[in-house]
Amino acid sequence: MKQINALLALSVLSLVFFSSCKKDDPKEPVIPNEEEVITTLNLTLTPVGGGTPVEFKFKDLDGDGGNPPVISVGKLDTNTQYTGSIALFNELESPADTITLEVEEEADEHQFFFESTANGLTVAYDDADDNGKPLGIATTITTQGASTGTLTITLRHEPIKDAAGVSMGDITNAGGETDIEVTFDVGIE
Amino acid sequence: MWALSKRALLYLFTCIIPGLIFAQQCPWNVTGSVKDMSTGIPITNAHVYVKEASLKDVTDSLGLFTIGAVCEGNYHLAISHVGCESQELFLSISGDTSILIFLDHHGQLLNEVAILDQWENPSTEESHSLHSDHMAKYSNKNLATMLEDISGVRTLKNGSGIAKPVVHGLYGNRLTILNNGIAQGGQQWGADHSPEIDPLLANKITVIKGVSALEYMGNSLGSVVLVEPKRIGKEPHLHGEGRYFFESNGLGNGLHLALQQSHKSFAWQAVGTLKKSGDKRTADYFLKNTGNEEAHLALQVEKSWSKKWLSRLYFSSFNANFGVLRGSHIGNLTDLKSALERDVPFYTKDKFSYAIGAPYQKVNHHLLKLQTNYSQGDKESLDISYAQQINLRKEFDVRRSGRSDMPAMSLRQVSSFLEAKYRRALAHHWSFKSGVQLNRVDNSNLPETGILPLIPNYLTYEYGAFGMATKSMKRTTIQIGGRYDFEQRKVAAISNGVPRRVIRHEKEYQAMSAMGGMRHEFNKAWNMSYNLGFATRNPEVNELYSNGLHQGVSGIEEGDPELNKEVSLKHTWSLKGDIKGKLFFEGLFYYQNIDDYIFINPQDEVRLTIRGAFPVFKYEQTDARLMGFDVTATYQASEQMYFKGSYSYLDGYDRKHQMPLVYMPSNHLKGSFNYQIPSLGKFHNVEFQVNSRYVFEQTNLLPSQDFVAPPAGYHLLGLKISGERQLRKLRLVSFIRMENLGNVAYRDYLNRQRYFADDLGFNLLAGFNLKF
């Protein structure tokens, strides 16, 4: 008798199994709230003596895939000192999320690096984390003679800020993950 | 082993010589002989121990033993011999008793023909097994690294704790792993996803180096790994074993406990494992964040309703956290390049730590299986199984603003499986086996990541049926079979473009597989087998729909929804035998063509994102050819000493583009010297082994096929000493092992961490196994 019970239990189980097959669909995907994505980097350079700010923009609204990013650059003047300021946004969110705040909050875990191939263009850090190590949201950018080249801005997450040269803005020993790496064409006239 | 003890018991009962009973007197003799199961040759120096009476003897040159002055009563007998799996028998003594015991002696020298379970006929396909006595001495290893001891099996690793088995160059979706007869669910597509099975819950792990896995639903293109749980013995008393090990590299500790008891019609077993280890060390530095934490459990209940009906309930739970090397977490190609230029990875610390932080994987896998079996001796048997698996995988990355505590990937897969199998013995030595199977897989992303999922939600129904016929004659076995599968898959993905929306796909696949094989015994010493199999594999969801950045390798991977199924035709040919019982030889050659082989191909395109430029990889199809051989030779120099050597060769070739295939194991050479001492002080069955492994550089690869040239070949030396002791009712097996004796700094082509760090340095292990 018992074996018949066992068989019965099994067939009930299989019935449950089969009946669940009807009009079965995968779970409806939940479109995630991608609050961590950085879509936009703006570098605003304001001449120290006053004047019209110069804007460098990198915007990739759909993240890694899809459409290519939109890059716009401004022209720099020769022999000028600029106050540089970086702003990061997530424009997937509406209204756009200011990611710069997150970076400021975790200043000790972040650092921007600037590498330029344009002659005479130098970048100096104007801000620091709680340990006195540079962050790079605020900078002073100085130009000399006329030149062209590129400016690469890198944001590293969890860099090794104590490593040799890192606090001087040398990325070589920094390590960490790259959160941002954008390259702008620079013209100094 | 079960079949064996059954046989031994049979002999036992037929050989009992009835005698007169004297209460509380001890006049009885237990005599017997111990023989080799395959050759029938008497085994010398086997230890026979009557546990309750603390009496023992060692077999003489004729394999005979005599134990005198045994009282009337119930006894447990332990029979052991160097290199054999020890046996236990339960005896009721009420007179002079004579028994014949068979031990499986040459298992270490030559692998046996697979007998998958007691109803099964020997297969024509080649298989190799690891048994529990082996596992007891390697209990620190995971499923894949344990299997590496089998020739032709390698592992694809992601650091030290995460490893997948690779058989004849195939892994992941192309290799089916069966846990207690159920195809392992979960995210097997991931090259950095270990199979979620604790090998210590198993009694036996078998690799079938096959041509087509007709009996099993799944994606196998030939080979299968079978993990079989411990069988509950027929013992009426509570029995069990406990294991402990310590390893110096990673300061790892492991504990394993198994308990079982059998009543008249009801039997139970409970098995559990706990493991913890911290940062591993290479020859020169610690690997930060490479610790593991594991806790596994299995429960088994058996109830026989009558002589013919038996039901089994099996539950297993796998739970683990695997740390991933901190220095291997990179953001873009620049990071990868700077990691490649370094000898020592970023974040390397001078201090050891048990801490596991991001990046890490948290994996849970639960299996429930209900099986009912009807069998009428060897004549016919019917098997109905239902299984449910739940697989949870969460992967944590280093993220901004405290989001490291949020998984970057969180997947849940629920699969339900129903199967009916029927076997029947027919006239003229034929036997027939067939079955129907149904599998439902529901895979979904849990919305807790805040990241676009790498693979979409999907729901799959698979229906399959197979039939196989075997003719076993005296010297020849012939096998032939076919299989049909139908798969229906519904997918709901999220678009890559904005605004994000849900895209749906629906696909149906049909597949046929077939195999034929033959095994022939020329004489007692030599046999050969040939197998030919045709199999297909449907493209997996990651190959079809993945779209996005693959962090570990810094590339954008794009699936192709239009991919076709892979079609494989594989030949295997094996020859094995021995010369005068001294020199044992075993060779397996294989040749496999896979049409529409799916692989990931680097594109000329570089994609610009805010994190920099990334190379683009697309899943494409080509025609592949895998060809290779595994050969093993053993020389039994004397009763106590043997040498063993094996070599595995594999050539993976892309026939369409006329270039090598990536991620193919390089060739490797293994050798060992073994010396066995029957008795040494209080220990017996003492075994001493020096082993050596040379892994060749993977030279079969073009420079354009990887970021960096494959690492150089390497040579590792190891040492193992083990011994056994009988402590009244307890049987103690203890071991000391040393791995990478020379503390060699090396990197392996099949370890994905090779871009960042060296492989493991010296490791000293010690442990014991107590059986009661």
Residues of A in contact with B497 (CB under 8 A): 62, 65-67
pTM of the full predicted structure? 0.86
ipTM: 0.82
Distance CA A76, CA A81 (A): 10
Q: A79-83, A118-122, B451-455, B755-759: which range is least confident on average?
A: B451-455
pLDDT of residue A10: 58
Compare all CA atoms of chain B with the CA of A178 and give the residue at the minimum distance: B331
Rounded Cα gap, residues B163 and B147, in angstroms: 11
What would the mean pLDDT of A91-113 be, rounded to a whole number? 91
**Quick one: B29 exposed, middle or buried, by C-beta within 10 A (0-12, 13-18, 19+)?**
middle
Residues of A in contact with B311 (CB under 8 A): 6
Classified by CATH at the fold level, domain B2-108 comes out as Immunoglobulin-like (2.60.40)
In this structure, are residues B584 and A13 in contact, taking their beta carbons and an 8 Å threshold? no
Instruction: Answer for the pair B254, B242: CB distance below 8 angstroms, yes or no.
Output: no
Name residue B514's beta-bridge partners: B482, B534
Closest CB to A21: pick one of B461, B498, B607. B461
Q: Contact A157/B400, CB-based, under 8 Å? A: yes
Which ranges of chain B have pLDDT less than 50? 1-23, 108-121
CA distances from B672 to A68, A164, B132, B634 (A): 57, 48, 20, 9
Q: Which of residues 29-48 of A touch B (CB under 8 A)?
A: 29-36, 38-41
The mean-pLDDT minimum among A17-21, A96-100, B204-208, B507-511 falls in A17-21
Which of these, B219, B206, B221, B40, lies nearest to B129 by C-alpha position? B206
* Strands of B169-251, DSSP E: 176-179, 182-183, 202-209, 224-229, 239-247
**Residue ranges of A 79-98 with Cβ closer than 8 A to chain B:** 92
pLDDT score of B11? 43
| DSSP helix/strand/coil, B486 | strand
Q: What is the pLDDT of residue B554?
A: 67
Domain A36-188 has CATH 3.40.1350: no
Q: In what order do the strands lie in the sheet with B47-50?
A: B55-58, B47-50, B73-80, B87-93
**What is the pLDDT at residue A133?**
94
Label residue A9 by pLDDT band (50, 70, 90): low
The predicted structure's pLDDT at residue B649:
96
Q: What is the dihedral of CA B750, B752, B757, B758, to 10 degrees?
A: -20
Judge: B453–A7 Cβ closer than 8 Å, yes or no. no
Domain ranges of chain B: 2-108, 126-771
Distance CA B211, CA B222 (A): 4
CATH fold of the domain at B126-771: Maltoporin; Chain A (2.40.170)
Pairing mode, strands B176-179 and B224-229: parallel
Q: Which helix (H) or strand (E) holds B55?
A: strand B55-58
Token digits of residue B378: 């060897």
pLDDT at B103: 77
pLDDT for the residue numbered B265: 84
Tokens 């097997």, residue located: B188
Task: Tell which residue, A77, A94, A98, has the closest CA to residue A86.
Answer: A98
Q: What is the 3-state secondary structure (H, E, C) of B636-674?
A: EEECCEEEEEEEEEEEEEECCCCEECCCCCCCEEEEEEE
For residue A161, give every residue at least 6 positions away whose Cβ sits within 8 Å of its Cβ, in sequence order, or none: A108, A111, A129, A131, A133, A167, A174
Taking CA atoms, B223 is separated from A51, B472, B542, in Å, by: 73, 23, 22
> Residue B497 and residue A178: Cβ atoms within 8 Å?
no
Interface touch A24/B461, C-beta < 8 Å: yes
The single-letter DSSP state of residue B755 is G
- Within 8 A of A58 by CB-CB distance, chain B residues are 610
Residue A92 has pLDDT above 70, yes or no: yes
Map out the domains of chain A as residue ranges: 36-188
CA dihedral B557, A31, B192, B203 (to 10 degrees): -140
Cross-strand bridge partners of residue B487: B462, B509
